[in-house]
Chain A
Amino acid sequence: MNRSTADAARNEPGEHRFDDLERVHLLADGGHILVRALRASDRLELAERYEELSAASRRLRFFNPAEHLSGHLLDYLVDVDGYHRFALGAQAIDEPAQPGVAVARFARDPHDPTTAEAAVTVLESHCNRGIGTVLLMSLVEAALARGITTFTASVLWENQVLLDGLRAYGAVVAPAEPGVAAVRVTLPRGAEHYEESAISRVLRTVATRLGSGRSSG
C-alpha cells in the first residue's frame, strides 16, 4: 500500500472531509488503483461507466435496472455526505485516462444508525484483479469509523457465489421477497482488529469471487 501524492484528490469545499481513505493500492497483478471518495464531479463518468456494465451485472447490482441512469438517480448516486451516505471510487491510474472502474457505497439506515446498506460494483473489464476486495475493505474501515457495526444488503438468490461467500463467514441470509435474499453482516467491533478479522476474510473471499465476473454487490 502506497500513499498517493501526485494524484491526491481534493474534497469539494464544504463537503465532509474523508480523504483519510484516499490511497493508492498495489494489486496482485502489479497494477495500481487509487481509492478515493466519490465526488459530485464524477457524475458524468458514473453515467458512462453504467453504460459499460453488462446486462447481467446491472441485474445483479440493481435487480430491475434502467437502460440509462436518469438524472435524478445520478444525482442521488453522487450525493454523498461522507457520513450517512458514503461512496468510494477506484480509478485505474496506470491507464492514460485513469478511468473509474469500481464503486462501493453504503447508506445508513435512518431507523438504525448503526446499520447501513452496502453495495459494490466492479466493471467486468477489471474483474479478477482484487479491486472489489480493496474497495470493500476500505468501505468497512470507513463504516466502522462512522459508528456503523452492521452491513445489510439485498442480494438476488441467483447470485449464489456471493451469498455462499458471505454465508461462509457468518452472514445471516434470509428470504425477502421472491428472488431476493436479505443479508446482514456484523462488522468487527474495533477497526484495529479489522485487518485480521473474519470480516476481512469474508470480503477478500467475496471480492475474489466478484472478480469472476458472475456477481456484483
Chain B
Amino acid sequence: MKTASGPSLTPLAQDEHLLKPLLDRCTAEPGAVLAASRDGDHFVDVTVKEVVDTVWRVAKGFVACGVAPGDRVALMSHTRLEWMILDFAILAAGGVTVPIYDTSSAEQVQWIVGDSEALLFVVETPAMLAAFAPARAELPACSKVLTIDDGALAELQQLGENVPDAVIDERIAALGIDSLATIIYTSGTTGRPKGCMLTHGNLRYNAAQSFEALGSEVRVDDTGLLFLPLAHALTKGNALFDIQTGITIGFATDIAHLAKELQLFRPTTMAAVPRIFEKVYNAASNTAHHERKGPIFDHAVAVAIRWSRERTNGRVWPWTAAEHLLFDRLVYRKVRHAFGGRLRLCFSGGGPLGERLTHFFAGVGITIYEGYGLTETSPALTLARPGAWKPGTVGRPLAGTSLMIAGDGEILAKGPQVFRGYWRNEHATAEVFDADGWFRTGDIGELDDDGFLRITGRKKELIVTAAGKNVAPAPLEDRLRAHDLISQAVVVGDARPFIAALITIDPLAISDWAARNGLGDRPIGEVLLSEQLDAAIQSAVDEANLSVSRAESIRKFVVLGRDLTIDSGELTATLKVRRAVVEQAYAPQIEHIYAG
C-alpha cells in the first residue's frame, strides 16, 4: 500500500480556538482593514476592531437568548459580512454554528434545523423566514428565528446589552481545540444529509496547514474576494486562512455580479471552483471567435500552455518566450483583466480543474494551486505549493497529514484536520473510519513517486458539478421514477455547470396517459415530443427538486425515445444501469442540454 506524508506540523496548544487569530490581530493592529463590503460602486472597509466589537455585542445577544456552551445555532444566508460576524459571535458565546446554504430547499432546512436541534435559527431574508414557518411547529427545540435583513444583528446587540463582557470572556476561555465549532451537513449517496462535526482544532489546523504550504506567496497588501457560499467548507477555510494571514476579505454580493465586482474590488487572491475558471476561459474564447479573432486566441492558448509546461520542466525555449511576450499584450492581459487585473494567487478545489486549464492560466500569469479534500477534512488534505506544482495532480499531503492508497485504490487519510464524526450518527461514523483510524475518503486515487496525489475515480455514487457541488443522483432518480409515466431516470452533470436528467417513458403508462389527454390518436413519437408530456415530466422534476437545494436541482431534462436496454449495453446482463454507457449513448442529447 502506497503512502505519503506531508512535512511535520507544529502542534497547537490545547486552549487554541478559532477566535484567537482574530483577537490577536485586534490586539496587534486594531485599525487594520479586515474586510470590505459593497456599497454602490465601492467597497467599504471595516476594521478588525469594528468587527471584534460587533462580534462581542452580538455574542452577548446570543447568551441573552439562552445559548449555552455547545448549543447549536443554525445560520442560513449567502456569503456576507454579517455571516462572518454571526459565526464568530456564535463561537464567542460558546455555541456551534450550523450553516445552511441560502439555496437549500424547505425540506433540507427542516431536516438540518431538526437534526442539529438548533436552539436558534438566523435566516437572511423574510422569504427564508416565511419558507421555514410551516416547519416551525414541528421543531420545538428551535425557540427563536431572527432575520438578518430585518435587523437581526441590531436586535441581538440590544438583547445582549445587560450581559456582562465577562460572560463572553469566560465562554471564550472555555474553548479549546477539541471544542465543537461547526456542524456542516453533506449529502450522502442515499438518505438524509449527515452533519460533519468540525472542531476549533480541525479548522485552525487546516488554516495553519494551508499557511505552511502557501504562506510564502502571500504579500502584506493582498486582498481576496469571497463569493462562494460560506456554508461550504472550502469558502470557510479560505476565510479563516485570510484572517490568519492578514489578507483583506472582500464580500461579493452575488455570483451573478462577480464579473463586475472583480473589477471593483480587484483582488490579488481568490479561492474558486473549476467552473469559475472555465467560465472566464469560455467567455474569452467566445468573444475572440465572435470578433473573428478565434485563430489568434487558439494559438495564444496553445502558447500559454506550452510556455507553462516548458517553465515547469525547467526551461522555456526562446521561440516560446517570444510568442508568449507577444500574446501577453494581445490576449493574456485581457484574461487577467476579466479577474480585475491584479489576480496573482488562486486556489481551486471542489472538483478537478484539468491540467490544460491550469497550464493556460499559469501562462496567462495567474497561478492556480489545486487542492483536494472533503467537508470531513476541514476541508484540505492536499495542496499544490510553490516548487511542488504539478497540474493534473492535487498536490502533496499538507503538513501533519498522511495519505495511504488502500488495496482497492481508495484514498485514506490521517491528520489533525480530519473530523471527529457525524453528528449523532455513530453508524455512519464507524463506516468511514477503518480499524487503524484511517478516514476513508470514498475517492479513488494514485500517489506518484514524488508524493503527488491524482484523483482517478469515486467510490461514492456522487456527481460533482463544475461548481464543486456534490450531488447524489440516486435520491433524485428515485423520486422521478415514482411518477407513473417515468420508467428510468439517469441524472447527469459531472463536471458540468448544472444537473440534468435523462428520462425514459413507461411504454404501457404512456398509452393510457395519451388517451386520457386527448392524444390517443397520435403516434407515440409525437406524444413523446408533445408539450403536454413535457409539462407532465416537468411536474415530476419539480417534485423531485423539492428535496434538494438549487445547486443540486435538475434544471433541464430530456425524454429519450426508448427505454434503456441490455442490447445497447446501457443495462448489464443482470439489469444494472451503466451510467457511463448511458451518457456515451446519449452524448448528443447531453451536449444539447448544456449548449442551450
Interface CB pairs A-B, < 8 A, 5: A63-B461, A64-B489, A67-B481, A178-B494, A181-B459
Question: What residue in chain B is nearest A163 (Cβ atoms)?
Answer: B408
> Which 3 pairs from chain A and chain B are nearest by CB?
A179-B461, A107-B573, A157-B459
Task: Assess the B477–A160 pair: CB atoms within 8 A.
Answer: no
Q: State whether A175 and B456 are in contact (beta carbons under 8 Å apart), knowing that A70-B507, A70-B508, A158-B461 are contacts in the complex.
A: yes
Instruction: List the A side residues contacting B507 at CB < 8 Å.
Output: 70
Instruction: List the A side residues contacting B566 at CB < 8 Å.
Output: 76
Task: Assess the B574–A175 pair: CB atoms within 8 A.
Answer: no
Task: Assess the A76–B575 pair: CB atoms within 8 A.
Answer: yes
Question: What residue in chain B is nearest A72 (Cβ atoms)?
Answer: B563
Instruction: List the B side residues contacting A160 at CB < 8 Å.
Output: 431
Task: Assess the B456–A66 pair: CB atoms within 8 A.
Answer: no
B181 within 8 A of A: no
Chain A residues packing against B (C-beta within 8 Å): 55-56, 59, 61-67, 70-73, 76-77, 85, 105, 107, 109, 116-119, 153-154, 156-158, 160, 163, 167, 173-181
Instruction: List the A side residues contacting B482 at CB < 8 Å.
Output: 67
What distance in Å separates the Cβ of A68 from its nearest Cβ neighbour in chain B? Answer: 9
B301 within 8 A of A: no
Instruction: List the A side residues contacting B494 at CB < 8 Å.
Output: 178
What distance in Å separates the Cβ of B180 from its nearest Cβ neighbour in chain A? Answer: 27
What distance in Å separates the Cβ of B444 from its nearest Cβ neighbour in chain A? Answer: 5
Task: Assess the A179–B458 pair: CB atoms within 8 A.
Answer: yes
Instruction: List the A side residues contacting B461 at CB < 8 Å.
Output: 63, 156-158, 178-180
Chain B residues packing against A (C-beta within 8 Å): 189-190, 407-409, 431, 442, 444, 456-463, 474, 477-478, 481-482, 487-490, 494, 506-508, 563, 566, 572-580
Within the complex, which residue of A56, A71, A116, A157 is in contact with B460, where a contact is CB–CB below 8 Å?
A157
What distance in Å separates the Cβ of B567 from its nearest Cβ neighbour in chain A? Answer: 10
What distance in Å separates the Cβ of A66 from its nearest Cβ neighbour in chain B? Answer: 6
Within the complex, which residue of B442, B462, B474 is in contact with A64, where a contact is CB–CB below 8 Å?
B474
Helix, strand, loop or mixed for chain A's interface? mixed
What distance in Å separates the Cβ of A107 from its nearest Cβ neighbour in chain B? Answer: 3
**Which among B460, B482, B508, B575 has the greatest number of chain A C-beta atoms within 10 A?**
B575
Instruction: List the A side residues contacting B481 at CB < 8 Å.
Output: 65-67
Q: State whether A179 and B575 are in contact (beta carbons under 8 Å apart), knowing that A64-B474, A66-B481, A70-B563 are contacts in the complex.
A: no
Cα(A67)–Cα(B444), bound, Å: 31
What distance in Å separates the Cβ of B421 from its nearest Cβ neighbour in chain A? Answer: 18
Cα(A55)–Cα(B563), bound, Å: 21
Q: State whether A73 and B575 are in contact (beta carbons under 8 Å apart), knowing that A67-B482, A175-B409, A181-B408 are contacts in the complex.
A: yes
Question: What residue in chain B is nearest A77 (Cβ atoms)?
Answer: B575
What distance in Å separates the Cβ of B463 from its nearest Cβ neighbour in chain A? Answer: 7
Instruction: List the A side residues contacting B573 at CB < 8 Å.
Output: 85, 107, 109, 116-117
Instruction: List the B side residues contacting A72 at CB < 8 Å.
Output: 563
Task: Assess the A117–B463 pair: CB atoms within 8 A.
Answer: no
Instruction: List the A side residues contacting B444 at CB < 8 Å.
Output: 175
Cα(A71)–Cα(B460), bound, Å: 31
Task: Assess the A175–B408 pair: CB atoms within 8 A.
Answer: yes
Q: State whether A178 and B463 are in contact (beta carbons under 8 Å apart), knowing that A70-B508, A117-B573 are contacts in the complex.
A: yes
What distance in Å separates the Cβ of A75 from its nearest Cβ neighbour in chain B? Answer: 11
Cα(A158)–Cα(B563), bound, Å: 27
Cα(A73)–Cα(B566), bound, Å: 9
Instruction: List the B side residues contacting A64 at CB < 8 Å.
Output: 474, 477, 488-490, 576-577, 579
Instruction: List the A side residues contacting B563 at CB < 8 Å.
Output: 70, 72
Instruction: List the B side residues contacting A67 at CB < 8 Å.
Output: 481-482
Cα(A76)–Cα(B578), bound, Å: 17
